[in-house]
Structure 1
Amino acid sequence: MNKTAKIKKNHQFIVLRKLIIVSALIGFLSAFLGITLKRMTEYYEGIFLREVSLNPIYLVIFPIFGLSIIYFLREYLFKKKENKGIKEVFESTKSTSKNLPSYKIPSHFINGLLTVIFGGSTGIEISTVVATATIGSVAHQKENVFRKYKTELICAGVAAGITALFSSPIAGILFAVEVISRKVTRAYAISTIIAVSIAFALLSVLKEEPLFTVSITTWHLKAIPYFILLGILAGMNSVYLTRCVLFFKMQFAKIETHYYKIIIGSIVLSVSLFIFPQLYGEGYHSIKMIFGNASQLPLTITLAVTFIGILILKPIVTSITLVSGGDGGVFAPSLFIGAFLGLLLSSVLNTYFNTQVIPLNFMIIGMAAVLSASIHAPFTAIFLVCGLINDYTLFVPILVVCLISKYTAKMIYPFTVYSYSPSLIK
């Protein structure tokens, strides 16, 4: 081996070693951020929900108070700096000069937390994604040797953050591929696998439990036609969610005074929460409740109207939360919509057609299906939902329904809230 080749080999080894070390550090910091945000949100949302149940007047106070705090933080603490959410992550990975500034870590952490605990009808997932992507972006700027691994390090942070939230390393890796990088390189594989491994190890050390505790027994081939129907309905619901977000974004952009947006958003949120308290926050508390009672809920006209009302209003209040200044995305709303859609469909089938399908199965498959269609990432949705319940019994029907829902959504409207362009809004 000549001297030049030897120097080149040594350099590659040094770069690889540094990449491994920085990926492990990104994985740890991103997972720690994700776990901390998740625990804080669950804790304070539980406290606020108890207050709301005792004093419904808080349904009026909390939304306007939360959105106002976020507004003043952005105005004065973060100095009116731009906040485009996950679109900034896309812009950063596509540009060699545009980086994610470090203020986005505390900004999205704090604003995501405040949005949900004060009743904003979204989730902390996209707040976590942007904050952890920023960790990767900041790391890539620290040494010249990392300059060419910008996308890989951003994806490492995102993958570790998703792993921390949903206890699924595979979902973390797939989300980074399907939604952000769209390609797999050797450096990507090394950095993301190391980051999610560290994240999963931290979850194990801290003994993080799956978000939902359910017992899946089996599924039946005779239910496949109904699963297909669920996939089609999920695709249609996801398009409704996407179009709602884009429509209200366009309408609220016409309002020049930001505090008018807060007032309008707070009124819509408060009225909606009065009618359907299930819409408070990310809605995981409501999903847990219907998981426990799914097989015991006889479908009545009142219950059917409640479910339909929730399915119609959820995309609206999610959109209003986001355009009024709240921090979040469509992850949690998609899971929420899917759970209620699956329960409604299974209840209708059992009550009026005596199909004897298993409502719990339909809820879980519905969650994955709506998420798959909303972000056009079926494989992320599959492993994410299986990770949420720590059970892969429904893997095959979830796979089929996620693909159906995604392509149903793309046939109706080919864009997601992540991929749309203002010129395409009609």
Structure 2
Amino acid sequence: MKITSRRKYTFTKTGKLLIASIVVALFAALLAVSLKHVTEKYEELFYIRSKINKLYLVIFPIIGLSMIYVLRQYIFKNKANKGITEVFDSTETGKNLPSYKIPSHFVNGLLTVIFGGSTGIEVSTVVSTAAIGSLAQEKEKIFRQHKKELICAGVTAGITALFNTPLAGLLFAYEVICRKPSKLFFYTNIPAAAVAWTFVLVLGEPPLFAMKIQGWHLYALPYFALLGVLAGLHSVYLTRCVIFCKAQFAKFTSQHHKILLGAVIISALLLLLPQLYGDGYHAIKLNILTANKAVLSVPLVVTLLGVLVFKPLATSITLSAGGDGGVFAPAIFIGAFLGLFTALVLNTVFHIGVIPLNFMLIGMGAMLSASIHAPYTALFLACGLVNDYTLFVPVLIACLIAKYTAKAVCPYTVYTFKSKV
């Protein structure tokens, strides 16, 4: 009788856990898609206004950072958003992610990007969807010991919905958030990925980037490896830039001074390079159209080098001054332009004959892999960005080389760095 009762209890518990993960996934997917579309809409509108009148590039950053400060001060319990480290704290300790983290990251992520903050909504989505999972486990005593699985289910669904790729969502939760999964991880997260993917398929969500991949050649393998090494090294620059700027801004005793200085620097960088506005996906889409026909001229070299040097700085200042986000979108952005620049140099100086468009996509995956130390997440996400797996092998090679290059130089990421302060 005892054995039968125990089996019945286990069956009931796992059944409820499955239902909970599906419900969490539905809410997480809805939140992710909503945030994506609202952000895209207003970022485009505000960016167009700033192209017409440069004055907007001066006032938008201070408006965005000020609004985030006011909301945090008077609505969101005067507690700063700490990004993915909040999720780590919840999965590794007994702390729960408070429910207000759902609207706070949603709204603050939106405000940061649409007003020109040089980051993306991915980390905001991760934390808010993780908070949905954390909230779910609080509602049933039977779920308390499976908080990590439900938090990961929310994250899996959120990333799946953002990029239309369930494997990237599942692997991100596995490689970055969970790291030491239990048997129930897959039991809860595979259905979560499936539900979120079904959700975006029903909505007819298109790939983020429209790219026609032309195939690749074996002779280009060494150059894919080279791009992986370059991405790994550049990711270290991004990581250390973010950590350095956060440490310097933490010395400010006045939040107003922090916001003012941050806004001034961001505005100056946007006036210099408007491509740095928001998540920068608009600039990637524009360059996708001309990549294979681009000629390496002095103005183009200056622009590309400017983007590669100043994007990490713009991202770092955005996050340090109170913006909500992370290095997810910046890594994709930097990777695209690093890949384009590498291909154009190889073709113009060394007459190699590689395909710049391919290098843009491979660069996205390699830079993301190096920045978050998650090569398989980056692999499937990069292919999912265009819904084409033709470059699966080149992206895999570049992602692995990029991660281990970055790790050899700098063993931590922005998300895993432990401050001594």
Please say if 1:341 is aligned against 2:335.
no
Q: Distance in 1 between matches of 2:229 and 2:395?
A: 13
Please say if 1:211 is aligned against 2:208.
yes
Q: Distance in 2 between matches of 1:200 and 1:4?
A: 40
Residue 217 of structure 1: how far off its partner (Å): 1.6
Which residue, out of 297, 301, 322, partners 2:298?
A: 301
SS at match of 1:81: coil
Q: Provide the residue aligned with 1:240 in structure 2.
A: 237
Please say if 1:131 is aligned against 2:128.
yes
Which residue, out of 57, 63, 71, partners 1:59?
A: 57
Q: Distance in 2 between matches of 1:184 and 1:350?
A: 45
Q: Provide the residue aligned with 2:286 in structure 1.
A: 289
**1:215-230 equivalent positions in 2, closer than 5 A:** 215-230=212-227
Q: Distance in 2 between matches of 1:79 and 1:151?
A: 25
Q: Distance in 2 between matches of 1:26 and 1:291?
A: 36
Q: Distance in 2 between matches of 1:79 and 1:395?
A: 45
Which residue, out of 7, 10, 30, partners 1:9?
A: 7
Q: Distance in 1 between matches of 2:212 and 2:316?
A: 33
Residue 377 of structure 1: how far off its partner (Å): 0.2
Residue 187 of structure 1: how far off its partner (Å): 1.2
Which residue, out of 44, 47, 54, partners 2:45?
A: 47
**Contact 2:270–2:276, Cα closer than 8 Å, also in 1:** yes
Q: Distance in 1 between matches of 2:185 and 2:223?
A: 39
Which residue, out of 178, 181, 184, partners 1:187?
A: 184
Q: Provide the residue aligned with 1:94 in structure 2.
A: 92
**Contact 2:65–2:323, Cα closer than 8 Å, also in 1:** yes
Q: Deviations over 1:42-89 (max 9, x none)?
A: 111111111011111100010000100000000011120242111010
Q: Distance in 2 between matches of 1:185 and 1:83?
A: 28
Q: Distance in 2 between matches of 1:391 and 1:173?
A: 18
1:94 maps to amino acid: E
Residue 228 of structure 1: how far off its partner (Å): 1.1
Q: Provide the residue aligned with 1:31 in structure 2.
A: 29
Q: Provide the residue aligned with 1:316 in structure 2.
A: 313
**1:139-150 equivalent positions in 2, closer than 5 A:** 139-150=136-147
**Contact 2:118–2:277, Cα closer than 8 Å, also in 1:** yes
Q: Provide the residue aligned with 1:72 in structure 2.
A: 70
Q: Distance in 2 between matches of 1:123 and 1:160?
A: 18
Q: Distance in 1 between matches of 2:25 and 2:297?
A: 48
Q: Deviations over 1:286-343 (max 9, x none)?
A: 0001011101211011111110011000000000000100000000000000000000
Q: Deviations over 1:365-410 (max 9, x none)?
A: 0000000000000000000111111000000011111110001101
Q: Provide the residue aligned with 1:155 in structure 2.
A: 152
1:71 maps to amino acid: Y
Which residue, out of 83, 86, 102, partners 1:85?
A: 83
Q: Provide the residue aligned with 1:391 in structure 2.
A: 388
Q: Number of matched residues?
A: 421
Q: Deviations over 1:153-212 (max 9, x none)?
A: 000000000000011100011000100111232211111011111101110111101100
Q: Deviations over 1:246-268 (max 9, x none)?
A: 00011001111011111111111
Which residue, out of 389, 414, 418, partners 1:417?
A: 414
1:340 maps to amino acid: F
1:406 maps to amino acid: K
Q: Deviations over 1:209-253 (max 9, x none)?
A: 110011112101111111111111000110000000000011001
2:74 maps to amino acid: Y
Where does the alignment leave 5 or more consecutive residues of structure 2 unmatched?
none
Q: Distance in 2 between matches of 1:249 and 1:283?
A: 22
Q: Give the aligned CA root-mean-square deviation in angstroms.
A: 0.8
Which residue, out of 330, 338, 343, partners 2:327?
A: 330
Q: Provide the residue aligned with 1:231 in structure 2.
A: 228
Q: Distance in 2 between matches of 1:183 and 1:253?
A: 32
1:50 maps to amino acid: I
1:359 maps to amino acid: P
Q: Scaled by the length of structure 2, what TM-score is found?
A: 0.99
Please say if 1:119 is aligned against 2:131.
no
Q: Distance in 1 between matches of 2:180 and 2:200?
A: 27
- Aligned structure 1 segments of 4 or more residues deviating by more than 6 angstroms: none
Q: Distance in 2 between matches of 1:284 and 1:259?
A: 30
Q: Distance in 2 between matches of 1:60 and 1:246?
A: 25
Please say if 1:256 is aligned against 2:253.
yes
Q: Distance in 1 between matches of 2:188 and 2:225?
A: 37
Q: Distance in 2 between matches of 1:348 and 1:302?
A: 14
Residue 151 of structure 1: how far off its partner (Å): 0.4
Where does the alignment leave 5 or more consecutive residues of structure 1 unmatched?
none
SS at match of 2:380: helix
Q: Distance in 1 between matches of 2:250 and 2:276?
A: 24
Residue 20 of structure 1: how far off its partner (Å): 1.2
Q: Scaled by the length of structure 1, what TM-score is found?
A: 0.98
Question: Alignment identity in percent?
Answer: 58
SS at match of 1:141: helix
